[in-house]
Each structure stands twice: as C-alpha cells, then as structure tokens.
Homo-oligomer: A and B are copies of this chain.
Amino acid sequence: MKVQVHTTLKEGVLDPQGKAVEAALNNLGFSGINRIRQGKLFDIDLDTDSKEEAEKLTIEICKVLLANMVIEDYSVKVIQDN
C-alpha cells in the first residue's frame, strides 16, 4: 500500500526556506507571487494491504518521527495500490 505524507509548518511559524524562495524568484524577475511556504513530502510504501492499517501506522510514524508536532501539521493520504 502506498501512502503519501505532507508535513507543513503551522500558520504563524516563520518559514525561512519559503521566504528565501520568494526572494530568489523576485530577484529572477518573477512577479505576481504572494507567498510561498515550503514543506516536506514522504512517499511511503507499506507491506500491509489494509487501508485502515496503513493509515493507522502512518499517523503513528508521523507523530513519532516525521512531523515536529510543536510547529508542524501533517496530512496522510492513502494511495490504493493498483
């Protein structure tokens, strides 16, 4: 079962990487960009064939390792295999 996790900084948390990208695009002459926030993406391949089990395991992994719950939100999307 394939699962995709997004971790993003919570609203209000400073995002220096996003700001750097904004500044770089500005310097490159791009306009019309209001805001960029950068997050992380994890493509996970799990052994299980159960959607519920995959979701449960992934949420646990997020809480323990992938997301810093103090400053980050996470979202889990199970992508059916086949």
- List chain A positions with a Cβ less than 8 A from chain B: 6-8, 18, 21, 24-25, 28, 30-48, 57, 60-61, 64-66
* Copies of this chain, tallied across the complex: 2
Which of chain B's residues have a CB closer than 8 A to the CB of A21? 42, 65-66
Give the docked Cα–Cα distance between A64 and B31 (Å). 14
With A21-B66, A65-B21, A66-B21 as known contacts, state yes or no: A57 contacts B43, CB within 8 Å. no
Q: A25-B61, A32-B46, A33-B47 are in contact. List 4 more A-B contacts (CB 8 A).
A: A7-B41, A8-B41, A36-B44, A38-B41
The closest CB in chain B to the CB of A31 belongs to B47
Give the docked Cα–Cα distance between A39 and B18 (Å). 15
